[in-house]
Amino acid sequence: MDKTWYCPFPLHRSLALANDSDLGELLLDQIDKMAEEFDEVADCLIETSEATAVNASGMLEETLDLIHAAWGLCYLLERVHPTMKVEDYITYVREKNRARGYYDA
């Protein structure tokens, strides 16, 4: 794949080595992986008898695993639909959220 967008993580070998005929199943698997990683982020909120404690180190690690899984899904979506470019969507989402006032304080 001619990768024109930046991903801070290496591509997982199962995605890089996948055959085109396996992409549909891999999309579902990658969504499941994201859900698994999200659950691991949530698990870092530790219920105690006094309050909810935060395992910040674990939460950061698991959040980055979730982001890594999301980048994998982006790769798969671009591979399934090569005319869809992740970089174009990043620009679109930034512009949409800027227009909503999410970035400027």
pLDDT digits (tens, 9 = 90+) for 75-98: 999 999 999 999 899 999 999 999
* Predicted local distance difference test score (pLDDT) of residue 98: 94
**Structure confidence by residue, pLDDT tens digits, 2-11:** 455 678 899 8
Please enumerate in sequence order all residues whose Cβ is within 8 A of that of 35, keeping only pairs 6 or more positions apart, or say none. none
Q: What are phi and psi of 52, to 5 degrees?
A: -100, 125
Task: Print the SS3 string covering the chain.
Answer: CCCCCCCCCCCCHHHHCCCHHHHHHHHHHHHHHHHHHHHHHHHCEEECCCCEEECHHHHHHHHHHHHHHHHHHHHHHHHHCCCCCHHHHHHHHHHHHHHCCCCCC
Report the predicted TM-score, pTM, of the whole model to 2 decimal places. 0.83
The tokens describing 15, both together, are: 């995605």
Q: Is residue 13 pLDDT above 50, yes or no? A: yes
Q: Is residue 48 pLDDT above 60, yes or no? A: no
Q: Is residue 52 pLDDT above 80, yes or no? A: no
